């Protein structure tokens, strides 16, 4: 289990983490979402003992983060950080050795990892000769070779095509079953929705919303959303207010928060007499939660 309590970090005048607190339970996939500069990388750096916090603490399995906890962490950087001229197996061997594995233990663990990641076909292929999807797999496998308690995945599917992304999601879901806790940072909200059992939204160095997907959905005061395009926004907003519909501009789109579920025809009828370019009904998703939390 990972516990982050009241973590503070500033660079000069700039406060990057402001009493950040969250915890990750055993076997959880915790999604840390937030815009660029919200403090995700700084949190990871402190967790990996690359940076010291100004205040607060992080513990892993009850042990405060230090040089001694490095072996408890498996870190998967956003970029493919592997030795391209080495084969998959040689890369795994290298990372196993620098994490202190040796002898028959290394061989056994590498066999196990090759099986988990379905790498048998490519174990003797140079990384430079593999496709992006397979490289991503090995990038993750190399972080797990020393059997860490926590796996940190920093934007694990960035730059992958749809098929490879789905395959990798499946793999990450299976890793959860193997008993490792996962901290995932991502900009892809769909990824967080599919993979994470708990999501924390980080904004200006603080967790501004946290919970399961359903709990987070509850933070948007609506049962349904109506996204409307019109040249006569003033009239639409006035009319909507008369029905008790609040509105937001999520990503520049005029969105009404409907307090109950409607069918499209009923919404159109309620806005009768106003010229609408387009109208669509949507379920509340993580995108709206994220925008609600980070944009106010």
Partner 1 sequence: MRRYFNEIFAVTSRILIELFRMRRSLIFWVIFPTLMLLLFGCIYAGGSGATNSFDFTPPGILIGAALFFSCLGGPVALLVGERERRTLRRILVSPMKPISYFIGIVAAHLVIAFGQTVIVYGIAFFFGGRFHGSLLLGLLIILLSVFSYVGAGFYFGARFARRTEDVNGPIAAFGVPLIILGGTFFSVATLPSYLCALAFLDPIFHMNEALKGVSAMGMGVRVISMHLIFLGTFTILAVFMGVRSYKSMLLQEKRG
Q: Which is nearer to partner 1, 145 or 228 (CB)?
A: 145
Please check whether residue 31 is in contact with residue 212, taking contact to mean a CB–CB distance below 8 angstroms.
no
Q: Is residue 99 close enough to count as binding partner 1 by CB under 8 A? A: yes
- Residue 86 near partner 1 by CB under 8 A: yes
82 sits near partner 1 (criterion: CB under 8 A): yes
**126 interacts with partner 1 by CB under 8 A:** yes
Least distance between partner 1 and beta carbon 11 (Å): 8
3-state SS, one letter per residue, for the chain: CEEEEEEEEEECCEEEEEEEEEEECCCCEEEEECCCCCCHHHHHHHHCCCCCCCEEEEEECCEECCHHHHHHEEEECCCCCCCCCCEHHHHHHHHHHHCCCCHHHHHHHHHHHHHHCCCHHHCCCEHHHCCHHHHHHHHHHHHHCCCCCEEEEECCCCCCCHHHHHHHHHHHHHHHHCCCEEEEECCCHHHHHHHCCEEEEEECCEEEEEECHHHHHCCCCCCEEEEEEECCHHHHHHHHHHCCCEEEEECCEEEEEECCCCCHHHHHHHCCCCCEEEEEEECCCHHHHHHHHHHC
Task: Kindly indicate which of the ranges 82-90, 191-199, 212-220, 281-289 contains the residues binding partner 1, using the contact rule CB under 8 A.
Answer: 82-90
Answer for which of 6, 25, 50, 241 binds partner 1 (CB under 8 A) is 50
157: phi then psi, degrees, rounded to nearest 5: -115, 15
Q: Of the ranges 73-81, 244-252, 275-283, 288-296, which one interacts with partner 1 (CB under 8 A)?
A: 73-81
* Minimum CB–partner distance for residue 76 and partner 1 (Å): 9
| Residue 84 interacting with partner 1 (CB under 8 A) | yes
75 binds partner 1 (CB under 8 A): yes
Q: Under the criterion CB under 8 A, does residue 107 sit at the interface with partner 1?
A: no
- Nearest-approach distance from CB 131 to partner 1, in angstroms: 18
Q: Which of 19, 94, 268, 274 binds partner 1 (CB under 8 A)?
A: 94
- Give yes or no for residue 125 binding partner 1 (CB under 8 A): no
Question: CB-wise, 99 or 117, nearer to partner 1?
Answer: 99
The Cα 290–Cα 209 span in angstroms is 8
Residues 224-263 that bind partner 1 (CB under 8 A): none
Query: Between 131 and 170, how does the x/- string for binding to partner 1 read (CB under 8 A)?
Result: -----------x----------------------------
Radius of gyration of the chain (CA): 23
Q: Is 90 in the site for partner 1 (CB under 8 A)?
A: yes
Query: Where does this chain bind partner 1 (CB under 8 A)?
Result: 41, 45, 48, 50-51, 67, 70-71, 73, 75, 77, 79, 81-86, 90, 93-95, 97-100, 102, 126, 142
């Amino acid at each position: 289990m990972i516990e982050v309590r009241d973590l503070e970090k500033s660079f000069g005048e700039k406060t990057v983490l402001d009493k950040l607190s969250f915890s990750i339970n055993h076997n959880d996939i915790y999604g840390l979402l937030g815009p660029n500069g919200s403090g995700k990388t700084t949190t990871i750096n402190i967790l990996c003992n690359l940076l010291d916090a100004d205040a607060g603490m992080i513990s892993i399995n009850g042990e405060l983060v230090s040089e001694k906890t490095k072996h408890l962490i498996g870190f998967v950087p956003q970029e493919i950080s592997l030795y391209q001229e080495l084969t998959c197996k040689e890369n795994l061997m290298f990372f196993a050795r620098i994490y202190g594995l040796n002898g028959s233990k290394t061989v056994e663990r590498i066999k196990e990892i090759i099986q988990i990641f379905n790498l048998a076909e490519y174990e003797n292929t140079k990384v430079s000769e593999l496709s992006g999807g397979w490289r991503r797999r090995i990038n993750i496998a190399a972080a797990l070779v020393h059997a860490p308690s926590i796996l940190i995945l920093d934007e694990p599917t960035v730059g992958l095509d749809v098929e490879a992304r789905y395959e990798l999601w499946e793999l990450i879901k299976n890793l959860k079953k193997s008993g490792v806790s996962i901290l995932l940072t991502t900009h892809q909200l769909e990824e967080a929705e599919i993979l994470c059992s708990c999501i924390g939204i980080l904004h200006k160095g603080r967790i501004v919303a946290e919970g399961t997907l359903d709990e987070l959905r509850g933070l948007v005061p609506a049962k349904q959303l109506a996204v409307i395009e019109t040249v006569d926004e003033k009239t639409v907003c006035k009319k909507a207010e008369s029905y008790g519909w609040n509105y937001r501009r999520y990503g520049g789109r005029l969105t009404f928060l409907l307090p109950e579920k409607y069918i499209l025809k009923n919404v159109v009828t309620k806005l009768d007499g106003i010229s609408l370019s387009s109208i669509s009904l949507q379920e509340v998703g993580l995108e709206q939660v994220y925008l609600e939390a980070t944009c106010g």
